[in-house]
Amino acid sequence: MAHRLQIRLLTWDVKDTLLKLRHPLGEEYATKARAHGLEVEPSALEQGFRQAYRVQSHSFPNYGLSHGLTSRQWWLDVVLQTFHLAGVQDAQAVAPIAEQLYEDFSSPCTWQVLDGAEDTLRECRTRGLRLAVISNFDRRLEGILGALGLREHFEFVLTSEAAGWPKPDPRIFQEALRLAHTEPVVTAHVGDNYLCDYQGPRAVGMHSFLVVDPQALDPVVRDSVPKEHILPSLAHLLPALDCLEGSTPGL
């Protein structure tokens, strides 16, 4: 007779799964620039950031740790390049803005807890589940979670900066399993990114769920993910776990 699957550990992505920015990034950058006497269009900063972040992530993956950078310097460079792409050529004028933005994005005032996140975490703990974080974030994350009242829910917070590998690298998930002294078959990961939060954990034998509007997914991705693994909101998580645990392991 097959044993009933029981999930014991839930690991969590953070950004856009549990937390989001209070204001669009372009607006945050434009507001800080204005305070320093620079007028820049939020849309130009938003577009510049996307390009700068993509290039920086490609050239210096995981905050450039293997290239001798600190995560702080990595982010300061992203901000400088963002303003440059938005038409601000004076790097000296942007430098104090970059420093201010780095500090502001360390503050809980810049972030807000997504609807249902705290209730879901509390319900998971009431159910006896162990919780932990696996996030492609830097060293600021633990303080942000603490200031927003979420840190107490997690046994540990594993960032890509601390681990040395970003999701979807299997080693960050394996490190989390090592820290938790838990097998992948009784572990599930929850997040909003198909590659990092759905495929990544499955590559090491974990279960996973996507918290995303199904209509926002690429049709090819949507068709490749079982409907019961897609959560339109966090309120769908525990019913999805019930469904998973009601299935036969290995099927």
The domain containing residue 220 runs over which residues? 9-18+114-246
> Tens digits of per-residue pLDDT, 144-189?
999 999 999 999 999 999 999 999 999 999 999 999 999 999 999 9
Which of 77, 95, 110 is the last residue before a domain boundary? 110
Tracing tokens 């996030």 back to the chain, one arrives at 135
Convert the pLDDT of each residue in 212-223 to its tens digit: 999 889 999 999
Question: Measured between alpha carbons, how far is 246 from 101 in angstroms, rounded to an integer?
Answer: 47
Domain end residue (candidates: 91, 110, 129): 110
Count Cα atoms within 13 angstroms, Cβ side, for 54. Answer: 7
Residues 133 and 211 in one domain: yes
Residue 249, pLDDT above cutoff 60: no
Share of the chain above pLDDT 90, in %: 94
Are 96 and 130 found together in one domain?
no
Question: 251 lies in a domain?
Answer: no
Residue 251: pLDDT above 50? no
Burial string for 13-47 (b: 16+ CB within 10 Å, else e) reads bbbebbbeeeeebbebbbebbeeeebebebebbbe
Q: pTM score, two decimals?
A: 0.93
Question: Do the domain assignments include residue 4?
Answer: no
Domain boundary (110, 129, 150) is at 110
Helix ranges restricted to H, the chain: 25-35, 42-59, 71-85, 91-104, 117-126, 141-147, 160-163, 170-180, 200-202, 219-224, 237-245
Token pair, residue 224, equals 């490749």
> CA dihedral in degrees (17, 19, 21, 25; nearest 10)?
-40
- The count of domains in the chain is 2
Residue 210 near residue 227 (C-beta atoms within 8 A):
no
CB 67 within 8 A of CB 31: no
Q: Same domain, yes or no, for 118 and 221? A: yes
Structure tokens at 48: 């510049």
Phi first, then psi, for residue 18 (nearest 5°) are: -115, -30
Query: Strand, coil or helix: what is 133?
Result: strand
